[in-house]
Structure 1
Amino acid sequence: MNISIVGAGALGSYFGVRWSKAGANVQFIVREKRAAQLQDNGLKINSMNGDDQIENPVIVTDPTQAAPADIIVVSVKGYHLESVIDTLEKLVDAHTYILPILNGVKHYDVLTNHFGKKKVLGGLANIIATLDDNGHVKHTSKIDEIRFGPLDEGQIEICEQLAEISAAANMTSVYSDKILTDIWYKYMFITAFSGITTVSNMEIGELLVHEETKDIIQQLLHEMRQIAFCEKVDLTVQHLEKAWKTLYSLPASATSSMHQDYRKGLHVELEHLQGAAIELASKHQLDIPHLKTIYGILKAKISL
Structure 2
Amino acid sequence: MRIAVMGTGGVGGYFGAKLALAGNEVAFVARGKHLEAIRANGLRVESPLGDMHLPKAAQATDDPTEIGPVDLVLFSVKLWDTETAAEAIKPLLGEHTAVVSFQNGVMKDDVLRQVLGPDHVVGGVCYIAATIAEPGLIRHSGSLQKLVFGEYDGSLSDRVRQFRDACVVSGIDVEVSDRIEQTIWEKFVFLVGLSGTTSTARVPVGPLRTHPRSRAFLHDVMDEVVQVARAQGVPLSADYADTQLAFIDQVPAGMTSSMHNDLERGSRLELDWLSGDVAERGAKLGVPTPCNRAICDILSVHSKGRAE
Query: Aligning the two structures, in what range does the TM-score lie when normalised by the shorter sequence?
Result: over 0.9
Task: Judge conservation of contact 1:100–1:121 (CA < 8 Å) in 2.
Answer: yes
Equivalent in the alignment of 1:168: 169
Matched, 1:67 2:85: no
CA distances 1:13-43 after superposition (whole Å, capped 9, x unpaired) = 1111111122211111223543321111111
Equivalent in the alignment of 2:30: 30
Range that drifts further, 113-122 or 84-93: 84-93
Instruction: Tell me the TM-score normalized by structure 1.
Output: 0.93
Equivalent in the alignment of 2:220: 219
How many pairs were matched up? Answer: 304
Equivalent in the alignment of 2:133: 132
CA distances 1:98-123 after superposition (whole Å, capped 9, x unpaired) = 10000011111111111222211010
Please give the alpha-carbon distance, in whole angstroms, between the structure 1 residues aligned to 2:157 and 2:127: 22
Unmatched tracts of structure 1, length 5 or more: none
Matched, 1:2 2:2: yes
Task: Judge conservation of contact 1:121–1:155 (CA < 8 Å) in 2.
Answer: no
Q: Structure 1 pair 81/155, CA: closer, same or farther in 2 (3 Å)? A: farther
Which residue identity does 1:61 align to in structure 2? D
Q: Structure 1 pair 165/179, CA: closer, same or farther in 2 (3 Å)? A: same
Please give the alpha-carbon distance, in whole angstroms, between the structure 2 residues aligned to 1:34 and 1:255: 24
Equivalent in the alignment of 1:282: 283
Please give the alpha-carbon distance, in whole angstroms, between the structure 2 residues aligned to 1:299 and 1:275: 10
Task: Judge conservation of contact 2:202–2:260 (CA < 8 Å) in 1.
Answer: yes
Task: Judge conservation of contact 2:275–2:292 (CA < 8 Å) in 1.
Answer: yes
User: Cα distance, 1:145 vs. partner?
Assistant: 0.8
Equivalent in the alignment of 2:266: 265
User: Cα distance, 1:223 vs. partner?
Assistant: 0.8
Task: Judge conservation of contact 1:118–1:155 (CA < 8 Å) in 2.
Answer: no
Equivalent in the alignment of 1:144: 145
Equivalent in the alignment of 1:21: 21
Matched, 1:108 2:109: yes
Task: Judge conservation of contact 2:87–2:115 (CA < 8 Å) in 1.
Answer: no
Task: Judge conservation of contact 1:195–1:294 (CA < 8 Å) in 2.
Answer: yes
CA distances 1:194-213 after superposition (whole Å, capped 9, x unpaired) = 11111122222222222211
Instruction: Tell me the TM-score normalized by structure 2.
Output: 0.92
Equivalent in the alignment of 2:41: 41
User: Cα distance, 1:172 vs. partner?
Assistant: 1.1
Please give the alpha-carbon distance, in whole angstroms, between the structure 2 residues aligned to 1:81 and 1:132: 23
User: Cα distance, 1:266 vs. partner?
Assistant: 0.8
Percent identity between the aligned chains? 29
Task: Judge conservation of contact 2:19–2:170 (CA < 8 Å) in 1.
Answer: yes
Task: Judge conservation of contact 1:23–1:165 (CA < 8 Å) in 2.
Answer: no
Equivalent in the alignment of 1:123: 124
User: Cα distance, 1:164 vs. partner?
Assistant: 0.9
